[in-house]
Structure 1
Amino acid sequence: MSQADGKRGQSQAPGDEANVTDGVRISCSECLGFDLCTTCFSRGVEIGTHKNDHPYRVVTRHRFPIFTENWSADEELLLIDGLRQFGMGNWKDAAEHVGTKTKEECEQHYLEVYVGSDTWPLPNMGRGFDVEFARAPGERRPRNATPSKTKVLSSQPSNHEIVGYMPGRLEFETEYENEAEQIVKDMVINDDDTAEELELKQTVLRIYNGKLDRRLLRKEFIFDRGLLEYRKNQAIDKKRPKDERDLLTRLRVFARMQTRDDFDEFAAGLLNEQRLRQRIGQLQEWRRNGITTLGEGAQFEDERSQRPSRRATTQRDSAHLLERLQRIAAARAVRESILAAASGPAQQKQPGGRKLASPLDIASAEGVELLAESERELCSRLRVFPRPYLRVKEVLLAEYARAGQLGRRSACGLVKMDERRTRRLYEFFVRSGWIKPPPARDEAVSGPARELVPAQQPPPPSSNTNGTRPVAHEF
């Protein structure tokens, strides 16, 4: 089978596609761009509109040189065709299209023969050569049929890791001073321009060329420093310690003032100085802690790295233990107060024949500084420690603030304490004016409560005798 463009194929068997680039081929004179290999032509193969009786011509390989001795006519045609297909400046794809030249050879040949020609834009067509072939068949390199895996399919910003960069054209979607061309896009130099107009237009062109030079310098800086390899640079930065990354970030402002080698040497020197200062500080700290060997220093650093986790664990365990001890102490205090009230050695008689327990000494109890004098005397008579009392006070006042009123039975149901003590505390709060009972009370304040309550009126909840804010005021 023939190949219409006469350039690619896989086999030479009749009926299959064949590569006729490097061999003799039969070109149909009626079917435009239709070529046949010699095998298909000898068998009279007909494909599509092509018939075996069409006129034809024999096309041989163009191995003779036309511009330089080491470039054949076929290679010249393939180079021009490759640049037309893949874009001007895409030397890599153009070299793969030629198949026998590297991208450096393609670029150098195009710049010397076409761009550097005295008859530009046409090359020098009058050169003659004494050789018959541009390159011997044994010197030709085989065409690379397998494209590179890293080949950029098209020169578009989305095909590169840097957004806005077009690798095939070595340009950015938005260049430095991107509007520079606006000042010259409509400029026309006419033969009848005056000297002043020509001078003005030349000045504008010089300004435009200056912008292009600054743009070129910045692009060369980016290419020279490898800033387009974003993922590679990011992986290198992640391996550095944070202090080194911060130092390199501050040094980047000096990069444009130095060459690449000078800047790398400058940065390496500062990084080395920083490491030496850190090492000297570490050795001085070891010496202050009495460490004289490197083995002891390594053990010291290992223990210091584990110290924060140990400190956090110790603080958490201490907080749990302290909370547990406080609960045990409060429960024990309540239990002792109940037992002492039931079977205390020193008892007093109260009206009705019942005996009262001796007052409890709470001068050194926890939280006594939060109580007013009348509250201290009440806790001492009822043998209740300050902390349980404050908790009962907090619960009762909070319920009163929520409901607007609080009865005696409701108060006894809210507090898990001896009912007699709860009733005495409730009556004390009522007499102090902190709680108002419901309008229809079942029972009035009893006489024994009057004996328990001191004669002096306690201060309001907003202040106490020692200037400490009561807990009840939080409600």
Structure 2
Amino acid sequence: MMDEEDTACCPKCTTSLTEPFILCTQCQPNIHLCLHCFARGVEFGGHESNHAYAICKKDFPVFESQWSAQDEERLLSLVQENGYGNWRDVSQQMKNKSSSECEKHYNQWYIENPHQALPKFPESKITYHPSPIVFKLSEDPPRPAEGTALSIDMAGYMAARGDFSIEHDNFVELELQHIEFENDGENQLEEDLKTAVIEIYNTCLKERQRRKKIIRDYGLINYRKLMETSHSYERSIRHIVDSLRVFMRLQSPMQSDMYLESLNHEQELKNDIRKLQEYRENGLTRFRHMKIYSMLKSRRTVTQNKRHLLKDILSHIQDESACQSWLNRQVALDNVSKGIPLALPAAPRKSAPPLDISGLPGQEKLSQKERELCASVRLVPEAFSGFKRVLMSECQRAGCLKLAQARTLIKIDVNKTRKLYDYLIQEGFINKDPI
């Protein structure tokens, strides 16, 4: 039983401890914390927030169901203070027990049975939340065929040999394969150099064993299982978890897992807080209201993502032909709803804006009409001049030029070819019929 001076105050905030309070079972000597400090996860000295703990309360019976542990402690203190036999004073200070009850209970359990041991209470199982993931070497590691995707993912691990096809510092053996120690004719410097190379090789062998031990201890051979563990974290912190893996060697497996799980738990709490803030902004204070709100919000999102015909008219509001096409489409839809089968007119494609050819090479050689044509059909000046020369030269050779022939000569959009052909005919650069 704890003394009152040991449990008088919390060592962190110095406030008086009231039941229930927290007992750290991992620190020696044991540390008692108030619930406020425990909830904030305070750490001081050698105490850490992830230590095993127990909840201390004295509302449980020790010998009789009517007498709690707190009553037992109070009774012993009052008997020591008032003396044995002053049951009237003891009962007055106990307040909830009569003098006869105090006398009977004390005599029965502390006088008549003085050597009876206190009852043993099973220790509650200490659990962590979230529970850390302990990696273990698989008893039956995968044995993929050589060259398969899984074999590549396992970094060349050969399960049958328990080894890797490519070692750390794989070609270090080449440095000492030709080393020989001669009995005579070798000076001390050469011998020291050869010895240093061998010591470097031994260091490399130790490093190989250390890396293999890390891989086995953390279960990194089973690559698929490791990836499944990564996907169990929140999507927003997966990149942080992957970047922290290089520091896993600086911690024990339990410490590393606890740290990553703490980051994940923090992100989950942030997500829950954001949801609660959204609910509060919308005036929701009941869980049943939140469920209805979430359902209606998902419906509204689906509806907003659907394309409406009104978007067509809004996106082509300055295009008269597009507006007219939209109106015709609305009329057709109304007729279809009345049972009249009509084909729906397709909305025309929005025309591209004119091309700004100012400053482009060859622009100064074109006339004003040719510049306007290049801008409207979106042709660069050099391409226009080249197409013009090809069509004029073919017309001079054959005596005339048809539109079909022009389309075979220049491989561009047929509408652009038609506008270019009509311009050259109109300006007299080429002729459609033989002269």
TM-score normalized by the length of structure 1: 0.35
TM-score normalized by the length of structure 2: 0.38
Asked which structure has the greater CA Rg, the reply is 1
